[in-house]
């Protein structure tokens, strides 16, 4: 069973005798007058005082409820207990970041008043108030000692048989309910303290054990405290009947130190903030450290030089840089890595911005024997020459080919270095590069070839509408006029779109699909149809399809015409610059044996027969080709060959029949 009994001192000035650690400029006769006069150039002040547990007279009693010590007190200074104003206890540091530490007007003697209730910690035994204009705040600590010896025990002020009994501190923190419990022997004959800071959102009711001899943290801030930051210390003790009566004390030394003035230099990557290639930024970032006394301090910047693909680091700018043509400039002060910068105490936190200048790289352009030179941004670059291109920019490189050559399937490639190629476009990488252009022998297209390119020996040509097929064309003289003829039949798939730029049409025309037509619909003379026979790879077109006609009116009677079927064809499905031949009685192309013998002699009259009613006929015996000559609504003129003879006969055939198409051109 535990009981606390307290007898209050009558002469409090005696309580503040030689053991009281209250130091000031004038401490004669142990009178703490004029405590803490103004002190300059100090960033911390140490306040020493004794907290005395007065005589505890322990009365033996059985079955008595435990009695705990609650506290209330007032500060007494001067002679015989006269009370001074609390402002007498303030200290002011006269400089920037000044610190003021105040004790409340409370008694430095801890009076333990008996109570039968559990300890109440709502009142304060001691209040310490700190003011500071320091931008980084302050740090308040408490250090327990006894007669200059680091100890946390309460020590009896008077000896007992030559010794000084003590009351130990709590071995661990405890809750008030645990500390108040009679059955909890771990807190018996122990003392502890409780701390509350008024700027905290909640009250800390934990009872702490001051078991460390080093400074005990009480409060810390990171900002100026101009309105006062009060820290309250409340004490409690729990003893049994074996504890000798008397006064017990521990010296509590409070130290309030302004946090060191620090600087912070933040390095901003500028326009490289989202660039994943950015490396070697200063570390740590921000760069921090302590400022010296005075208004400014010279700081050496980090020596790290940032790197970034395609850009050169130009330095650090004290303001946000301006950018023109991907290159930064600084309207403030520019600093280089490892250079000195002045940090001012009133503005210790600054940001420096990285400045970047975009790089240009020498790009070499080369090519095979079919390449003449290149054009980049309007400037001609000779084969094997170089040009300077800007990082990250995309350029279209025009490849100029030698006569007889044209672009290969892959016209441009990157042989080495940085950057990417897409077609004939090049996006500059972070480094030099060599590009190489490829060519191939030129194709001669029927749409663009000149008549002089057609020779009697024959020339291989291509139709731009279906480049998968090549044709041989030969120069043949008919009736004293040179004609350029296709030596094989036209192979143009169904669905091909013909335009005035690639075909002999007056307006855009789409070939019908490659469906085989049947006898039930073959009398529709004006409906364009075509068929493809895979066994011999031949394409067959009826006359409306061969002459690129549309079907605005159809009929199943051979005697009824179509409204748009009038006159000879003025257009057809031949390539631009080429056309169907005309019927023998209306033109010179088909009017004599020269035509027949020359075509036959050149081996171009393959007997492919014709197509009708869903199948081929006369394959290997006859060859049939359309002319542009119309007879009437149901028939048109044809060319044909039989065995070894070629004819332009005077027989007109039904337009619904599927014949081959052979194109020609004149000078």
pLDDT in tens, 367-424: 998 899 999 988 999 999 999 999 999 999 999 998 768 899 899 999 999 999 999 9
pLDDT at 633: 80
> How crowded is residue 366: how many other Cβ atoms within 10 Å of its Cβ?
16
Domain-located, residue 5: no
Give residue 374's domain range. Answer: 360-441
Domains held by the chain: number: 4
Domain-located, residue 636: yes
Domain final residue pick, 423, 441, 459:
441
Strands, E, within 262-348: which ranges?
262-268, 287-290, 296-300, 311-317, 322-324, 327-329, 334-335, 340-344
pLDDT in tens, 454-502: 998 889 999 989 988 999 998 887 666 788 889 889 999 999 999 999 9
Chain centroid to Cα 405, Å, comes to 45
614 and 480 share one domain = yes
pLDDT at 596: 53
More confident residue, 174 or 85: 174
Task: Decide if 132 contacts 93 (C-beta within 8 A).
Answer: no
117 and 21 share one domain = yes
DSSP letters, 255-268, are EEEEPPPEEEEEEE
171 and 214 share one domain = yes
Task: Decide if 276 contacts 296 (C-beta within 8 A).
Answer: no
pLDDT at 65: 23
pLDDT at 634: 82
How large a percentage of the chain has pLDDT more than 90?
Answer: 33
379 and 391 share one domain = yes
**Which of 197, 312, 192, 290 is CA-nearest to residue 250?**
192
> What's the rounded Cα separation, in Å, for the pair 277 and 256?
48
366 and 353 share one domain = no
Indicate whether 281 pLDDT > 70. Answer: yes
> What's the rounded Cα separation, in Å, for the pair 511 and 513?
7
The residue whose two tokens read 């394959």 is 619
Domain-located, residue 2: no
pLDDT at 343: 92
- When pLDDT is cut at 50, 70 and 90, the band that residue 304 belongs to is very high
Task: Decide if 305 contacts 338 (C-beta within 8 A).
Answer: no
pTM of the model: 0.43
DSSP letters, 518-586, are -TTSTT-TTS--EEEETTTTEEEE-HHHHTT---SS--S-TTS--TT--SS-S--SSBTT-BPPPPGGG
How large a percentage of the chain has pLDDT more than 70?
Answer: 69
Quick check: helix, strand or coil at residue 633? coil
DSSP letters, 367-413, are E-TTEEEEEETTEEEETT-EEEEETT-EEEEEEEEPTTEEEEEEEEE
Domain-located, residue 3: no
- When pLDDT is cut at 50, 70 and 90, the band that residue 603 belongs to is low
pLDDT at 311: 96
* Average pLDDT rounded to a whole number, residues 92-97: 37
Domain-located, residue 7: no
Indicate whether 38 pLDDT > 80. Answer: no
Q: What is the largest CA-CA distance in the chain?
A: 156
Domain final residue pick, 300, 331, 358:
358
Indicate whether 446 pLDDT > 90. Answer: yes
68 and 81 share one domain = yes
225 and 279 share one domain = no
pLDDT at 586: 38
149 and 242 share one domain = yes
Q: Is the dihedral of CA 387, 393, 398, 399 positive or negative?
A: positive
Domain-located, residue 159: yes
Task: Decide if 7 contacts 15 (C-beta within 8 A).
Answer: no
The residue whose two tokens read 């290997």 is 620
Domain-located, residue 1: no
Radius of gyration of the chain (CA): 55
218 and 155 share one domain = yes
pLDDT at 211: 67
> What's the rounded Cα separation, in Å, for the pair 256 and 472?
104
DSSP letters, 22-37, are ---SB-GGG--BT-S-
Domain-located, residue 446: no
600 and 571 share one domain = yes
430 and 481 share one domain = no
Tokens matching residue 191:
């003392």
Q: Is the peptide bond before 210 cis (omega within 30 degrees of 0)?
A: no
pLDDT at 652: 84
Domain final residue pick, 258, 277, 294:
258
> How crowded is residue 532: how many other Cβ atoms within 10 Å of its Cβ?
16
- When pLDDT is cut at 50, 70 and 90, the band that residue 209 belongs to is confident
428 and 323 share one domain = no
């Amino acid at each position: 069973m535990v009981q606390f009994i307290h007898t209050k001192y009558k002469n409090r000035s005696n309580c503040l005798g030689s053991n009281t650690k209250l130091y000031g400029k004038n401490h004669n006769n142990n009178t703490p007058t004029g405590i803490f006069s103004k002190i300059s150039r100090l960033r911390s002040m140490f306040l020493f005082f004794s907290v005395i547990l007065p005589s505890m007279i322990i009365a033996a009693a059985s079955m008595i409820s435990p009695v705990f010590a609650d506290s209330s007190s007032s500060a007494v200074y001067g002679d015989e207990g006269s009370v001074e104003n609390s402002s007498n206890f303030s200290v002011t540091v006269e400089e920037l970041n000044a610190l003021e530490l105040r004790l409340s007007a409370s008694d430095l003697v801890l009076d333990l008043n008996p109570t039968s209730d559990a300890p109440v910690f709502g009142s304060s035994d001691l209040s310490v108030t700190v003011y500071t204009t320091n931008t980084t705040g302050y740090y308040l600590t408490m250090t327990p000692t006894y007669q200059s010896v680091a100890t946390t025990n309460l020590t009896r002020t008077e000896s007992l048989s030559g010794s000084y009994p003590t009351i130990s501190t709590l071995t661990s923190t405890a809750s008030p309910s645990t500390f108040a419990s009679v059955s909890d022997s771990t807190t018996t004959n122990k003392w502890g303290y409780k701390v509350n800071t008024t700027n905290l959102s909640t009250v800390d009711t934990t009872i702490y054990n001051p078991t460390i001899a080093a400074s005990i943290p009480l409060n810390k801030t990171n900002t100026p405290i101009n309105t006062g930051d009060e820290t309250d210390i409340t004490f409690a003790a729990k003893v049994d009947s074996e504890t000798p009566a008397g006064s017990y004390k521990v010296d509590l030394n409070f130290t309030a130190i302004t946090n060191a003035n620090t600087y912070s230099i933040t390095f901003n990557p500028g326009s490289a903030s989202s660039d994943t290639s950015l490396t070697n930024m200063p570390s740590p970032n921000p760069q921090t450290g302590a400022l010296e006394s005075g208004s400014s301090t010279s700081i050496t910047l980090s020596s790290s030089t940032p790197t970034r693909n395609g850009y050169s680091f130009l330095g650090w700018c004290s303001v946000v840089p301006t950018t023109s043509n991907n290159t930064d400039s600084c309207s403030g002060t520019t600093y280089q890595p490892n250079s000195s910068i002045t940090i001012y105490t009133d503005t210790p936190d600054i940001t420096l911005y990285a400045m970047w200048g975009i790089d240009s790289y020498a790009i070499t352009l080369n090519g095979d024997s079919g390449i003449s030179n290149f054009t980049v941004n309007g400037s001609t670059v000779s084969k094997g020459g170089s040009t300077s291109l800007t990082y990250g920019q995309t350029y279209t490189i025009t490849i100029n080919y030698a006569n007889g050559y044209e672009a290969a399937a892959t016209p441009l490639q990157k042989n080495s270095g940085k950057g990417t190629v897409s077609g004939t476009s090049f996006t500059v990488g972070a480094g030099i590069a060599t590009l190489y252009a490829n060519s191939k022998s030129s194709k001669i297209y029927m749409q663009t070839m000149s008549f002089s390119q057609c020779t009697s020996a024959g020339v291989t040509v291509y139709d731009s509408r279906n480049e998968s097929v090549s044709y041989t064309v030969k120069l043949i003289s008919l009736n004293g006029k040179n004609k350029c003829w296709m030596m094989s039949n036209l192979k143009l798939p169904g669905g091909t779109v013909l335009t005035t730029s690639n075909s002999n049409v007056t307006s855009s025309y789409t070939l019908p699909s490659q469906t085989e037509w049947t006898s039930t619909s073959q009398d529709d003379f004006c409906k364009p149809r075509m068929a493809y026979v895979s066994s011999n790879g031949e394409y067959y077109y009826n006359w409306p399809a061969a002459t690129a006609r549309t079907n605005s009116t159809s009929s199943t009677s051979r005697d009824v015409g179509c409204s748009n079927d009038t006159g000879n064809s003025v257009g057809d499905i031949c390539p631009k610059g080429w056309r169907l031949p005309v019927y023998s009685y209306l033109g010179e192309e088909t009017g004599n044996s020269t035509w027949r013998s020359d075509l036959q002699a050149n081996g171009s009259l393959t007997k492919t027969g014709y197509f009708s009613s869903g199948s081929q006929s006369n394959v290997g015996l006859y060859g049939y080709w359309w002319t542009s000559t119309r007879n009437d609504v149901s028939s048109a003129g044809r060319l044909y060959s039989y065995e070894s003879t070629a004819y332009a006969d005077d027989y007109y055939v039904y337009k619904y029949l599927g014949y081959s198409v052979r194109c020609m051109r004149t000078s």
